[in-house]
Structure 1
Amino acid sequence: FAAEFIVRAGVGNVTIADGDTVDISNINRQLPALWSTVGEDKVEVMAKRLLDINPQLNLSRINEFLLPERMDELLQENHFDYVIDCIDSVSPKLALIRAARFNKVKIVSCMGAGGKMDPSKVMVRDISKTNNCNLAKYIRKRLRRENINKGVRCVFSVEPQHENSLKMTDGTQFKKSFYGTISYIPALFGLYAASEVIRNLIRAE
């Protein structure tokens, strides 16, 4: 959602990264997920959509799961103006935030959308001011160990997570569990993240 909002706003240089394929379980909440796209690479589905919005878009695709050890290299090679972090696994998410801070790249990080239902509770704040989000709490704790106490803008919800939506996984892709997610909350997180980027890019000009 964030990528589409940014492209529709007129940003002409965009990089998208994801190593996943569309799964039936994504259909309830992810923009590229349709019955017709199940099994396809998410990056390629989104690339086709974004280029249909703006055929002149300078679009780069990274069709891989971003491993923690890749983050510094990725940011140093590409010289991004802004990074939107939509990773839902702790280790690569932490690595991307650390790399952005080290390389002085602006970042907005999306925290836990799962287990949330109330759209009025979504907001953007510094990570030091997040609350009622288990993912943000853990990320905040880990960043403190590296003397990163603030300076990371986060999209999160102050609504307490519904614990009955917690599901366990097989532990692949750095993820041991996840919260079930309603259709409209990820879209709202993407909207807030895109707004943060667009307004900051405009102010920088």
Structure 2
Amino acid sequence: METEFERMERIIDKNKLEILKNKHIAVFGIGGVGSFAAEALARCFVKKITLIDNDTVTISNINRQLIALHSTINKLKVDIMKERILDINPECCVKAVNLFYCKDTENCINFKDFDAVIDAVDTVSAKLLIIENAKKTGIEVISCMGTGNKLDPSRFEITDISKTSVCPLARVMRNELKKRKISNVPVVYSKEEPLKNKDIPSVNKNQFTKISPGSVSFVPSVAGMIAVSYLVRQFLK
């Protein structure tokens, strides 16, 4: 009789699979990267997943985010993702946290509850805080760098933040982490040179203080999958 775990058991020892299933992993940011990471964890049958994001789905998310559909516009991303995970694995304990993680909300999240965290947020200050608290707690962390303005997912790789190049976000993170004397941070980053944003005549740029990067479905999703692959392989060592 077929089971949900059968295909995984063909390549992962049952005892090691149990170790993986019993981990508690937090995903910060349920967007183009984080939504795919969260789903990959669910399909690895991780029993405890915490989702942290305060955003709602907008129509501009539909081109790249797993939880973004016309039927989910204006709904909380964490709530949609939780419902989806429970449909994949009803036995999963999923906590949906409607929260923008920053200094003011730092105490709302206890990193001691987790075995690992995936940083899939966009804000530099939040990324630094996530990494800093993961390091203090001594848990696994994988941080995803920029995925916008890129078209080639084959250029992603996992490396230490100190060895990154090309990526503007990675450069900022590298400098800020160095100031804080934080080292040995694994990241998913792309060696592809960022493409230039094209002008969109239908958009009034005067309405915006920041131009959002361009994006496609097949780039951020891959970064999320790579992040989960890294954690799974760390736990199976």
TM-score by length of 1: 0.89
Single out whichever of 162-171 and 40-49 deviates more from structure 2.
162-171
Which of these residues, 121, 128, 131, is aligned with residue 94 of structure 1? 128
Q: Distance in 2 between matches of 1:88 and 1:198?
A: 23
Question: What amino acid is aligned across from residue 168 of structure 2 in structure 1?
Answer: N
Give the Å deviation of 1:70.
Answer: 3.2
Question: What amino acid is aligned across from residue 131 of structure 1 in structure 2?
Answer: S
Q: Deviations over 1:68-102 (max 9, x none)?
A: 343365234x4210000001011111111111112
Q: Which residue of 2 aligns with 1:160?
A: 193
Q: Deviations over 1:163-197 (max 9, x none)?
A: 235998856xxxx4532111110110011011011
Q: Which residue of 2 aligns with 1:30?
A: 65
Matched, 1:116 2:137: no
Q: Distance in 2 between matches of 1:135 and 1:72?
A: 26
> SS in structure 1 opposite 2:219?
helix
- Which has the greater radius of gyration? 2
Which of these residues, 216, 221, 226, is aligned with residue 182 of structure 1? 216
Question: What amino acid is aligned across from residue 158 of structure 1 in structure 2?
Answer: K
Q: Deviations over 1:124-169 (max 9, x none)?
A: 1111111110001001101111112x31110110001112359988
Aligned pair in 2 of structure 1 residues 177, 151: CA closer, same or farther (>3 Å)? farther
Which of these residues, 175, 184, 205, is aligned with residue 151 of structure 1? 184
Q: Distance in 1 between matches of 2:138 and 2:184?
A: 11
> SS in structure 1 opposite 2:46?
coil
Aligned pair in 2 of structure 1 residues 80, 129: CA closer, same or farther (>3 Å)? same
Q: Distance in 2 between matches of 1:147 and 1:66?
A: 22
Matched, 1:56 2:85: no
Structure 1 residue runs without a partner (length 5+): none
| Percent identity of paired positions between Structure 1 and Structure 2 | 40
> SS in structure 1 opposite 2:95?
strand
Q: Distance in 2 between matches of 1:152 and 1:145?
A: 14
Give the Å deviation of 1:2.
Answer: 0.3
Q: Which residue of 2 aligns with 1:12?
A: 47
Q: Which residue of 2 aligns with 1:199?
A: 233
> SS in structure 2 opposite 1:60?
strand
Question: What amino acid is aligned across from residue 61 of structure 2 in structure 1?
Answer: N
> SS in structure 2 opposite 1:155?
strand
Q: Distance in 1 between matches of 2:39 and 2:208?
A: 31
Q: Which residue of 2 aligns with 1:129?
A: 163
Q: Which residue of 1 aligns with 2:78?
A: 43
Find runs of 4+ consecutive structure 1 residues off by over 2 angstroms.
Answer: 68-73, 163-171
Structure 2 residue runs without a partner (length 5+): 1-35
Q: Distance in 2 between matches of 1:133 and 1:122?
A: 11
Give the Å deviation of 1:111.
Answer: 0.5
RMSD: 1.9
Aligned pair in 2 of structure 1 residues 18, 128: CA closer, same or farther (>3 Å)? same
Aligned pair in 2 of structure 1 residues 48, 120: CA closer, same or farther (>3 Å)? same
Count of paired positions: 197
> SS in structure 1 opposite 2:96?
strand
